[in-house]
Amino acid sequence: MSEPQVIREIGPLRQRLDAVRMRQQSIALVPTMGALHAGHAELLRVARENADYVVASIFVNPLQFDRTEDLDSYPRTLDADLRVCAAHGVDLVFAPSAAEFYPVEPLTFVESPVLSRHLCGAFRPGHFRGMATVVLKLFNVTQPHLACFGEKDAQQLAIIRRMVTDFNLPLEILPVATVREADGLALSSRNKHLSPEERAVAPVLARALKEARASIDAGETDCSMLKAAATKAFDAEPLVRVEYFEIVDPETLSPLDRVADAALLAGAIWLGRTRLIDNVTWRSSKAIT
């Protein structure tokens, strides 16, 4: 378990990766905002399995935070993160400062108006613009052959995949399954903000999603019925405030009235000051995937 090299500037990063490309080695990028947990570890494992050289980026991107308090309170744990990277065979950690990554006021952005309209996008104006813009920048400074993204951030994943298609980016996106606690709670850097009482209630989101998926499996196709059942589950938990619970087309992220071949079921809830998101995908066994 050797320490990964940490590079903080774009010039040296490009130089190092040019040398890797000259050796005909393939490069995988795992973009993160640090505070690495077992979900990130799974991204790193998939990257390690699929490329010769693994780059993890750690950058808490100011452009994608809509609320200052969330940016300020976002956990920063670089030493622990480097140990996680070392344990998972990361070759290089790119951890630029905000001044290095945004040397001038950004005036150019990636916009995905259709894909940002619903789900989290409806509640976090500018978030996906900031996210997609920073990911494009990371792609351009790293020029990876592949990049790994977690399925937990389903809207992010859909936007990135479509960006790669629409912009003809010469790389492959590997989606990585959500890692969960034993009680179903999806791993998130924000979970550590939960009080013990909130933590006890938190799995209700994953449970509601799984129950909705089971109902579809059992033949329910009416999305209003599926959503009503979820609302009932959330209403039973006084600590929970629901932001949204939606059933959408997995590609366009447009809300569905009826489930046909495939559906993305996604929700966001608040527990105190902590916002949790989760999702599951349902596909007809008859659908060609």
Q: Which CB sits closer to its own copies, 61 or 178?
A: 61
Considering only residues 3, 49, 66, 111, which one is a binding residue for its own copies as defined by CB under 8 A?
Answer: 111
Q: Which stretch binds its own copies (CB under 8 A): 44-52, 99-107, 195-203, 228-236?
A: 99-107
Encoded one letter per residue, x for contact with its own copies by CB under 8 A and - for no contact, window 217-246 reads ------------------------------
Considering only residues 55, 84, 85, 110, which one is a binding residue for its own copies as defined by CB under 8 A?
Answer: 110
Answer positive or negative: Cα dihedral of 7, 187, 136, 123: negative
DSSP letters for 91-105: -EEE---HHHH-SS-
B/e letters for 8-19, b = 16+ CB within 10 Å, e = fewer, are eebeebeebbee
- 40, 118, 145, 193: the active-site residue: 40
Nearest approach, Cβ of residue 126 and its own copies (Å): 12
Q: Which stretch binds its own copies (CB under 8 A): 111-119, 177-185, 210-218, 261-269?
A: 111-119
Q: Which CB sits closer to its own copies, 160 or 206?
A: 160
Q: Where are the alpha helices (DSSP H) in 241-286?
A: none
Radius of gyration of the chain (CA): 19
Task: Check residue 108 for interaction with its own copies (CB under 8 A).
Answer: yes
Q: Which CB sits closer to its own copies, 7 or 185?
A: 7
B/e letters for 274-285, b = 16+ CB within 10 Å, e = fewer, are bbbbbbbbbeee
The whole-angstrom separation of Cα 143 and Cα 136 is 10
The whole-angstrom separation of Cα 53 and Cα 272 is 41
Q: Which CB sits closer to its own copies, 133 or 156?
A: 133
Binding residues among 2-41 for its own copies as defined by CB under 8 A: 10, 14
The whole-angstrom separation of Cα 134 and Cα 144 is 15
The whole-angstrom separation of Cα 25 and Cα 150 is 24
Encoded one letter per residue, x for contact with its own copies by CB under 8 A and - for no contact, window 138-167 reads --xx-x---------------x--xx-xxx
Question: Which backbone phi and psi does 199 adopt, to 5 degrees?
Answer: -60, -35
> Pairing between strand 240-248 and 92-94?
unpaired
Size of the site for its own copies (CB under 8 A): 31
Task: Check residue 256 for interaction with its own copies (CB under 8 A).
Answer: no
Q: Which CB sits closer to its own copies, 128 or 245?
A: 128
Nearest approach, Cβ of residue 57 and its own copies (Å): 12
Nearest approach, Cβ of residue 129 and its own copies (Å): 8
Q: Where are the alpha helices (DSSP H) in 195-276?
A: 196-201, 204-217, 223-235
Q: How many CA atoms lie within 13 A of 221 on its CB side?
A: 8
Is 40 one of the annotated active-site residues of the chain? yes
Contact status, residue 204 vs residue 269, Cβ threshold 8 Å: yes
Q: Which CB sits closer to its own copies, 92 or 110?
A: 110
Q: Site residues (CB under 8 A) for its own copies?
A: 10, 14, 104, 106-115, 129, 132-133, 136-137, 140-141, 143, 159, 162-163, 165-170, 252
Q: Which residues are catalytic?
A: 40
